[in-house]
Amino acid sequence: MEIQLQELIEQIKKDGVEAAETEAEAILNAAKAEAEKIIADAQDKADKMLQNAKLENERMVKSSEDAIRQAGRNLLISFRESVSRELNVIVGETVTAAYSSEDFEKLVMTAVDNWSRKPDVDDLSVILNTEDLEKMEGTMLAALKDRMMQGVTLKANDNFDGGFRIAVNEGSAYYDYSAEAVVDMLSSYLSQKVTVLLKEAE
């Protein structure tokens, strides 16, 4: 009886140890599976974070490059505008100086001489502002004496500050040599030249 009891105890111990080992192995396997899942999830999150960081970095780099390019364009536009303004000032000062010098009368006389020689011009009017006309009227009338007989007349008009205008064939065509028109023409011409030079320098 004692031997059977001992065998029973041994069997219970054996069954208990096997059950405990089985349960321990199951717990260990579950723990390993959970650990692997946690590691896989963490790796997945890390990969996503890295991908997002890479995309954000690329976006920021592109945004920075776009901003630098735009700043460069703005700087170039600003520089061109500044050069154009300076050209306008220089051209304006040069034209004003030329139109207020003694050479202005010669310039008007040369223009009149050239226009009056054209075969299709029957009459010609030289239009000056009142101040310039009063300054030059005496000498110009003497110089134009012969041409006056051929239809050249002097007129005053204060709608422009300096320079002159020429009207031909009873005003059918006007040619504007006023200071403003000449400055605009020269500035436009020079601005185009400067633009070409700046493009070549890019």
* Structure tokens, 124: 């010609």
Q: What is the domain extent for residue 110?
A: 102-201
In a domain, 54, yes or no: no
Closest to 171 (Cα-Cα) out of 123, 119, 118: 123
In a domain, 137, yes or no: yes
Q: Determine how many CB atoms are found less than 10 A away from the CB of residue 132.
A: 20
Give the helix/strand (H/E) hosting 163: strand 163-168
Bridge partners of 127, per DSSP, are 155, 165
Say how far apart CA 163 and CA 134 lie, in whole Å: 14
CA distances to 4, 15, 16 from 7, rounded to whole Å, are: 5, 12, 14
pTM above 0.85, yes or no: no
In a domain, 60, yes or no: no
Say how far apart CA 152 and CA 143 lie, in whole Å: 11
Say how far apart CA 166 and CA 115 lie, in whole Å: 9
Chain segment 7-16, per-residue pLDDT in tens:
666 666 666 6
Chain segment 137-149, per-residue pLDDT in tens:
777 777 766 555 5
In a domain, 1, yes or no: no
- Looking at the structure of the chain, the number of domains it has is 1
In a domain, 75, yes or no: no
Return the CATH number at 189: 3.30.2320.30
In a domain, 172, yes or no: yes
The one-digit pLDDT tens for each residue of the chain (202 residues) are: 556 666 666 666 666 666 667 777 778 888 788 878 888 888 888 888 888 888 888 888 888 888 888 888 888 778 778 878 888 888 888 888 888 777 888 888 888 888 877 878 778 888 888 888 887 777 777 776 655 556 677 888 888 878 889 888 777 788 888 888 888 888 888 777 777 776 665 5
In a domain, 188, yes or no: yes
